[in-house]
Amino acid sequence: MTVNWISIGLLTDIPLRGARCVKTPDGKIAVFRTAENQVFAIDDHCPHKGGPLSQGIVHGAAVTCPLHNWVISLETGKALGADEGSVRTIPVRIEGEQLFIALEALASRAA
Ligand code: FES
């Protein structure tokens, strides 16, 4: 399967322990940068009631949803603790300072 890598700007466009919301034809994607400079991308849509995860608080490799404080793993997209649900995780590639995300849906649509 061909993966469609989309350029989404520079690592430094995202504040440390912060996030950016990237609008794609495939929906809004929240791209996070952790304190360790790891970058993760997940759907910007909390599995609870759709809260904007890109506006949540990043701690470790997780984000706390700004609406009702569910904690979502950035690595797996799964809700942590007693809560159940998950969001889609999107592969991220870093080349130098440049960030890319892989949108499979677009690739398969184009195929
Ligand atoms: S919408 Fe995210 S915790 Fe409720």
Domain residue spans of the chain: 16-90
Which residue has a Cα nearest atom 4 of ligand 1? 68
Give the pLDDT confidence score for residue 51 in this predicted structure: 98
**For residues 35 and 16, is the Cβ–Cβ distance under 8 A?**
yes
Give the pLDDT confidence score for residue 4 in this predicted structure: 87
Pocket around ligand 1: residues whose beta carbon is below 6 Å from it?
Answer: 46, 48-51, 65, 67-70
Strand partners, 59: 62
Amino acid (one-letter) located at 23: K
Contacts of 42 (CB under 8 A, 6+ apart): 29, 30, 32, 53, 72, 74, 77, 87, 88, 89, 90
Give the pLDDT confidence score for residue 98 in this predicted structure: 97
Q: Distance between CA 63 and CA 70 in Å, rounded?
A: 8
Query: Hey, which of 45, 68, 83 would you mutate to test ligand 1's pocket, going by the most ligand atoms within 8 Å of its Cβ?
Result: 68
Give the pLDDT confidence score for residue 2 in this predicted structure: 76
Mean pLDDT of 72-94: 97
**For residues 55 and 41, is the Cβ–Cβ distance under 8 A?**
no
HSE of 54, CA atoms in CB hemisphere, 13 A: 17
Amino acid (one-letter) located at 11: L
In the predicted model, is pLDDT for residue 107 greater than 80? no
Give the pLDDT confidence score for residue 111 in this predicted structure: 42
The fold of 16-90 is Rieske Iron-sulfur Protein (2.102.10)
Mean pLDDT of 56-75: 98
Give the pLDDT confidence score for residue 110 in this predicted structure: 46
Mean pLDDT of 67-82: 98
Average pLDDT, the chain: 92
Q: 52: CA distance to ligand 1 center in Å?
A: 8
Q: Please, which pLDDT band fits residue 9 given cuts at 50, 70 and 90?
A: very high
Q: 49: CA distance to ligand 1 center in Å?
A: 5
In the predicted model, is pLDDT for residue 1 greater than 60? yes
